Amino acid sequence: MKVEVLMPKMGESLQEGTILKWLKNEGDVVERDEMILEISTDKVDTEVPSPVSGVLTQILFPENETVEVGKVIAYIETEGKAEVKPKDEANNTQEVKTAPPVTEKPEPKIEIKRDETATVSGASVVDVVMPKMGESLQEGTILKWLKKEGESVERDEMILEISTDKVDTEVPSPVSGILIQLLANEGDTVEVGKVIAKISTAEGTIVTKPAETQEHQMETPESKQDLSAQPAIPQESNQLTSNRFYSPLVKSIAKAEGISFAELDTIKGTGSEGRVTKNDVLNYLENRKKAPVAPASVSEQKKIEVSKPPIHQPQPTPLVSPSAFGAEVEIIPMDRVRQLIAEHMIYSKQTSAHVTSVAEADVTGIVKYREKHKSEFEKREGFKLTFTPFFAKAAVDGVRAFPKVNVSVDGKNIILHKRIHLSVATALEDGNLIVPVIKNADALSISGLARSVYDLSTRARSKKLNPDDVQGGTFTITNVGTFGTLFGTPVINQPQTAIMGIGAIKKRPVVKEIDGEDLIVVRHIAFVSITYDHRVIDGQLAGQCLAAIVKSLESMNENTISL
């Protein structure tokens, strides 16, 4: 069967990609998810995996060619003897290469052995695997299956939603066919590369499921394990259990092996930002079997007590029932994103020494400019002009003037970032928060910042962000004045060391010196705050940066703004 390789869509606003390098040649055997080419877009350079296993029979575009999204760029033969077509099909004298045969799969009826709930007639079956959504990500959690067993799916049609440590996103089908088997449940955390479903691509595939077993719950080998005899890890519903973030996979291993959060905290992490990975836990378990842990000396215990705040380790308790608080309550479990936000906020407070400085800015020039040009801007760009890009530009100007605010901390080292990657806090419809990043914001105009803010916020709310979109920020802005709040003291977005808060714009009487006289006039005023990490940023530096931000805001008017 011939399978098309398409130019992938790497972002909502991207319509094309450039082929940088083919990693495979015509006639080469490729495995599913093996990288076959490198592409470049306006947002990111990345590698593209093969959608199936087979032989790369034809490459349709050369390197350095720019191709529209969705266009066929190559063909892969998945069965039988795959003949490699010559690039110039009109030249019949050109030699045709014959690639090594791919092992043919048997054609008989396929049976799905999940309590005999379904049978399939057909032949070609393609595995759907948990995708790798980022270099440092090793697992993903299935939030929702968008398709059921027996339903037909089109290539690139979304079939499930997954969540990772960085972003929630939808996963498309690699091929067209019938979804014949789901191998993981909603809520399961699955390692990258593990098969989570199967799709039959053969024509005439029929899935027959007995009516009484339609709703039968799926089981995996992991779910069948009897963990009742294992010591329980403390309930993770209390956010006081640990200072560090642990992925669901690490937590599940810890629970199965009887590792407490206090013990997890002692494991050195080799993952991104020092996170504990699956391999870290497994290596720890292996070493623990070989040698007993020696008790800490009195001096070491004192050092631990001084360097680390005491953590309350409550005993496991049964789930709280509404009756414990009376009749007029509702118990609402935190969803996964809210749990990650909670852990990240606590981690930030326990890591950075938070201090906040506040100033007020006269933004009358910005208000008048926006009011005059917003209709023209919307007709030209296709979206509304908000105040956010103006504040983003001021943040960039302030950080550019005082670059030592654009830093992060690595142990006893200060990392000074040469470019300004601006994180923009974005509220989601479910009440949660995500912080996508405008890369190289210091190279963008107000119009460029406006387009980036619109693109990222739109894709954030529709779960179309890529992992790269939420990584690498060096300075954050958050609009706390959306609903009228004058100013706030936001929590620093780790591993950054500063965050700018934007208050509501209000008309206020202020004193202005005009022609040598002090006059009371009505102006549009906004409070602007900067919360900074006092470990590496002192009040003088923060105050200077904040003053530069205010100066930039107050200088914007009809004569200085260019869209």
| pLDDT 10s digits, 235-272 | 333 373 455 767 666 776 787 788 887 788 888 887 65
Q: Which of 42, 45, 115, 534 is catalytic?
A: 534
Structure-block tokens of residue 122? 């057909």
Q: Coil, helix or strand for 421?
A: coil
Q: What is the pLDDT of residues 18-34, one digit of tens each?
A: 898 899 999 999 987 78
* Alpha carbons 45 and 11: distance in angstroms, whole number: 12
pLDDT score for 363: 98
Cis amide prior to 495 (ω within 30 degrees)? yes
E strand or H helix at 288, and its extent? Answer: helix 278-290
Helices marked H in 291-363 = 298-307, 336-351
Four-CA torsion 118, 121, 123, 124, nearest 10 degrees: -50
Of 398, 410, 443, the C-alpha closest to 553 is 398
Domain ranges across the chain: 2-98, 110-211, 228-291+309-315+331-351, 352-555
Of 429, 271, 242, 425, the C-alpha closest to 335 is 429
Mark whether 534 is an active-site residue.
Answer: yes
Structure-block tokens of residue 94? 């050109």
* Alpha carbons 366 and 559: distance in angstroms, whole number: 11
* Alpha carbons 502 and 505: distance in angstroms, whole number: 9
Four-CA torsion 485, 486, 492, 498, nearest 10 degrees: 150
Structure-block tokens of residue 391? 């504040």
Of 392, 480, 478, 486, the C-alpha closest to 439 is 392
pLDDT score for 323: 61
Q: Which residues of the chain fall below pLDDT 50?
A: 87-123, 210-238, 240-241, 293, 295-318
CB neighbour class for 465 (10 Å; exposed up to 12, middle 13-18, buried from 19): buried
Structure-block tokens of residue 51? 């959608």
CATH class of 110-211: mainly beta
In single-letter form, the type of residue at position 197 comes to A
CATH class of 2-98: mainly beta
CATH of domain 352-555: 3.30.559.10
Bridging pattern class, strands 475-479 and 422-424? parallel
Mark whether 335 is an active-site residue.
Answer: no
Asked if domains 110-211 and 352-555 share a fold, the reply is: no
